Each structure stands twice: as structure tokens, then as C-alpha cells.
Structure 1
Amino acid sequence: MDFKKSIRFLTVKIVGQYINLLHLVHPKKALQLSYALFTNPRTGKISHNKLPEILKDTIKETFHHNEHHFQTYTWTGNDTKILLVHGWESNSARWEKTLPYLQKSGSTIIAIDAPAHGQSSGEEFNVPRYAEFINKAVKKYNPSIIIGHSIGGSACIYHQYLHPETSIEKMVILGAPSDLKTLLDNYIQMLSLNRKMFHLLEKRYLENFNFKLEDFSGGTFAKHIKIDGIIAHDKSDTVVAFQEGQKIANGWKKSHFITTNDLGHSMHDDKLYQEIYQFLFEAKE
């Protein structure tokens, strides 16, 4: 395992040095490569003829949005609907361990594949496009509950900020990053890219999405959220720092922040799921 980590570390650093050298002679190509590495998932795609077992016995729908399409999977139940939003380099099958807890409520459960993940189209993932997919699914299914993991949680928060008047009444966010600038900083440090590359990437985001990196913050968006929610984050999360969850919780006044230990980034845990179930369903009874 240590040998594999060493090889991966060296590979990452070599790629970073290549981008730094490429920037000296072809800055546009260096930008294209660094942006692609940051936004193009390496894993998470699935084909319709090789569906994970958990997704086979579902109602499948494909939605078209501009030049893209995205996939949803529905486990039918009662009139209470829950929308599940997965994270980076994953797909709707990641909810396999979560489903039994939610299905105890009898709810109808819908999972969505992110841009460039699962059976959804594209090569590039970004939160604004994911939020557009979420909004289309919300309009179609009218869920009262939305649950997001990792950057899927960030997309849920951004969606709620953009579209506060929807059917959604409660939201659960698991291990989500807050600040895009922090993600990009970590990426720059991981590859040891020079600061010029950071400024080029920052400019690319401004041109593509019309926002500055420092303005794209879950903690800032959360200040506008009026619905009740849970934010859960693990202290030993090595993928998304614990402080990112705290930033979101500090902004979202109607949220309850749950700290977990030794769950890592996946956040699969009986006790946590029981707390979530209680928040979502038992308060009604």
C-alpha cells in the first residue's frame, strides 16, 4: 500500500512539473490540461448494460438539459419523496448502504447521476451544471427531502440558494466542501503548480461561470437557506477537511451539525443514519 502511495505521489508531482514546464511554452495548453484534470472525473461512469445490482430493479428515466442528459433511478414507495445526490467520482450506486434506512420510512427514493458520472453525459463536472440537473429533477419529482454527499452536498446547497421556493422542506449534507477556492488551492498544492496557474484557472472560472472563486462558498450560500437541515462531517475525513463542514454550519442557522469520528469521507454509519432518520421522519409522528 505504501509503495502504491509513493508511486501515485511521484506521478502527481511529475504531472505537476510537466504542466509548469508546458506553461512556459504553451500557457493555453497548460491551462486546458490543468482544468481538465481538475474537472474531469477518472472514475464513476457506468454503462446501461453493466448496471450495479442495486440500480437494476429501479424505474430509470433520462432527462435532457441543453446539450446534456442525466439519469435518475427510482425506488417506488409512498408520496414522500427523497432525492439523493452523490459526489465526485461516484454514481447513484453509492447509496446502497443508505437505502435500507430510508426505505424503512416507506418513501419513494430517487437518485441522480451527476454530470460526467454514472450514465449522465459529458466529461466535465461542475457544481453549477449539477445544480441545474438537480433543479430539473426537483421540478419533475417534487421531493420534500434532499440528501447530498461530498460535492453533491455542495451542489444541493447551491441549488437551495438559487431556488429557495421549491418542494424541498429538509436537507441533509454529508462530508461536503464549502469553498471552491479551498478545493482549487488543495489541487494546486497537490500538483505543486506555480501560482500563475492558479490565477489562470481562477480567470477560467470567471469566464465560464461569471463568479469569482472566493464568492463561490457554501458557507455564504448557506446564510440564505431557510429550511431545516443536518450537516454531518467526520473529523478524520482526509478528502474534505472537517473545517469545510463547520463553515457551512456556521452560515446555515436552521441546521444541526453532527460531528462523527473514524468514518472517513464515506460517512456510512448505523448511528448516523438513525439520527438522520429521526430528524427526517420521527418529528412528524
Structure 2
Amino acid sequence: MSEKIYFNTSSKFSFKRSLVNMSTRLHHRLAPRHAENTARKLLLTPVRTKPKNAVPAGMVKGKVESKEGTLITYSLGSGPVWVLTHGWSGTASQYFPLMEHIASRGYTALAYDHPGHGESGGVYGHIPAFVGGLEAILDSVDDVAGLVGHSMGTASAIECHHQKLVDKPLLLIAPVLDYLDNLFGSVARSGYSMRLFHAVVEEVQESYRYPIQSIDPYSKLNLRRSPTIIVHDEADKFTKFSVSQRAAQEMENVSLVATQGQGHGRVMKCEQVLASFDKLIDKS
């Protein structure tokens, strides 16, 4: 259900959306605790999607323990490590084609399922959990060469302050650089009670001591000095191409590769992504 909320891009009037708004507001008014428990399950539970691509030969499956539960990892190749972090309701399997390319260039490609995603443990998904999971993955490896992120995985990667990511190149695919606007806008368009949504947000930020207003991938990307390449489809329905375009215009170390007809998901294994990875390692 959460996928229908976060990936809803329609701004047209909808009777169903109006009904959702009325029913969730009434639920919260009449039974606030039950409504908040229901909202937590609905808004923070990602869809555990099935693998998207065939497992490459030589893939090594492993485990990393984190505060959010056991994370399942997928490693291919040898040499310095490129970490790959997927987005909301995604899986590491979306990266398998890119991982084969990374391994062929003399690196180790290390992807993993976020907490509450794929085969990893945990139930809920949100930025604090994504950041915590990424930190556990980074703690588990020695020589980090760079990071590839997709969608919400880009926001959590930029938010992560782990020492092993300092000055490392980034390949950001369909990034969510305007995270808060994207999140609140998606929930508002769904018709879901914003008061109820704020109650869930408040609980998460208090539990993790992670103020949601501090999440600002765009500004934090601007502070990075390492080379960053963004690959973004011009017609992406879920994350704004215009924001990536503005970042490339305003930030000295950020460049943009625009694609057409790749959408939000297919873009992860397009030729422009492979070529952008090659360009980053040449710069390094």
C-alpha cells in the first residue's frame, strides 16, 4: 500500500483520494493510538519485491548485522569496493547488471537489501534506517572506492556521514535531492491525513533522534568535493529531473547525464549508467 502513496504523482481531483482523506482524519480523531499504529504499518512498510534480474555467475551472498536487523549482501568481483544502495521498495537485484560491469573493471561490487527490503531483516523503512544500514555495510569493508545510489538510496547516501565515504565519487541514479518536498508532496497527493502522517514522522525522529527537517540531500551534496555524476531520465515520474538539472548547473563537482525513455527503474541498467561509472573511475 505504501508504494501507492509514495509513487502517486497525479494531482487531478480524485474521489478516492478525498475518501482516503476523510476516513483517515476521522480514524485519527476517534481512535488516535490505533490510527497511528495503522499509519506506521502503512506508511513505513515497503513492498518486498521479487528479484528483478538473474543472479550473475560468481555472486557471493553474505550477511551483515546492523541495528535494524540482518542485512543480506551480494558481492561480485575483487578489488576496491563500490557500494550499491537501492531505493524504496527496491532490492539489490536491480543492480546485478551494473555489478557485472563494475566487476569487469577490476572492482568489487557490493550491493545489499535495505532494512525491511528484499531478504533483509527489519520491518520498517525510512531515512534513519537506510542510513543506519549503510553505515553497517561500510563498517564491514575496508577499501571503499565509491558509491552508487538509486532513488531514496541516494538521499540516505548523501545523508550518511561515515568516514569511508568522505571524498569518494558518487554515481547517483534518479536521485531524490529534494527529499522533504518529494515525501510530503507524495503523501499530500495521496489524500492521506497529513496530521496523522506528522504523528508518524514525529515518532520516528524522536526514536532515532533524527530531526526530519535536517534531511537536505541537495544542500549536503553541494558541500561534497568529490566528483559526482547524476544519471536521470527526463520523463522520470517519481523524482524530479529538473532538480538534478539545477544541481548540475549550480554545483561545480556535479555533472548530469540525461536519458530518455528509461523511466525511474530501467535507467539503473542503461548504457549511460555503465558509461558514467567508467568516467568516474577514469577520474579517480
User: TM exceeds 0.5?
Assistant: yes
Q: Specify the alignment match of 1:72 in structure 2.
A: 73
* Deviation for aligned residue 1:125: 0.7
**C-alpha deviations, 1:94-131, integer Å up to 9, x for none?**
01332343233132211111111122111101222222
> Secondary structure at 2:158's aligned position in 1?
helix
Which runs of at least 4 in structure 1 moved beyond 6 Å after TM superposition?
9-12
CA distance in 2 between partners of 1:164 and 1:63 (Å):
18
Consecutive unaligned residues in structure 1, runs of 5 or more: none
**C-alpha deviations, 1:65-115, integer Å up to 9, x for none?**
2351111111123x2321111111111110133234323313221111111
RMSD: 3.0
* Deviation for aligned residue 1:221: 1.8
Q: Specify the alignment match of 2:110 in structure 1.
A: 110
- Which letter maps to 2:31? H
TM-score, with length taken from structure 2: 0.82
The answer to whether the 8 Å contact 1:40/1:123 transfers is yes
Q: Specify the alignment match of 1:40 in structure 2.
A: 45
CA distance in 2 between partners of 1:236 and 1:165 (Å):
34
CA distance in 1 between partners of 2:164 and 2:71 (Å):
23
CA distance in 1 between partners of 2:249 and 2:42 (Å):
31
> Secondary structure at 1:117's aligned position in 2?
coil
Q: Specify the alignment match of 2:207 in structure 1.
A: 208
> Structure 1 residue 236 and structure 2 residue 235: aligned?
yes
The answer to whether the 8 Å contact 2:53/2:97 transfers is no
- Which letter maps to 2:188? Q
Aligned length: 271
Matches within 5 A, 1:245-260: 245-246=244-245, 249=248, 252-260=251-259
> Structure 1 residue 124 and structure 2 residue 119: aligned?
no
> Secondary structure at 2:223's aligned position in 1?
coil
Structure 1 residues 72 and 268, CA gap change in structure 2 (3 angstroms): closer
> Structure 1 residue 187 and structure 2 residue 186: aligned?
yes
* Deviation for aligned residue 1:235: 1.7
CA distance in 1 between partners of 2:111 and 2:269 (Å):
19
CA distance in 1 between partners of 2:238 and 2:137 (Å):
28
* Greater RCO (CA < 8 Å, at least 6 residues apart): 2
* Deviation for aligned residue 1:237: 0.7
> Structure 1 residue 18 and structure 2 residue 13: aligned?
no
- Which letter maps to 1:138? L
Identity of aligned residues (%): 18
CA distance in 2 between partners of 1:273 and 1:226 (Å):
21
> Secondary structure at 2:140's aligned position in 1?
helix
Consecutive unaligned residues in structure 2, runs of 5 or more: 1-7, 9-13
The answer to whether the 8 Å contact 1:226/1:254 transfers is yes
CA distance in 1 between partners of 2:34 and 2:248 (Å):
39
> Secondary structure at 1:200's aligned position in 2?
helix
The answer to whether the 8 Å contact 2:68/2:129 transfers is no
CA distance in 1 between partners of 2:33 and 2:245 (Å):
37
Structure 1 residues 121 and 16, CA gap change in structure 2 (3 angstroms): farther
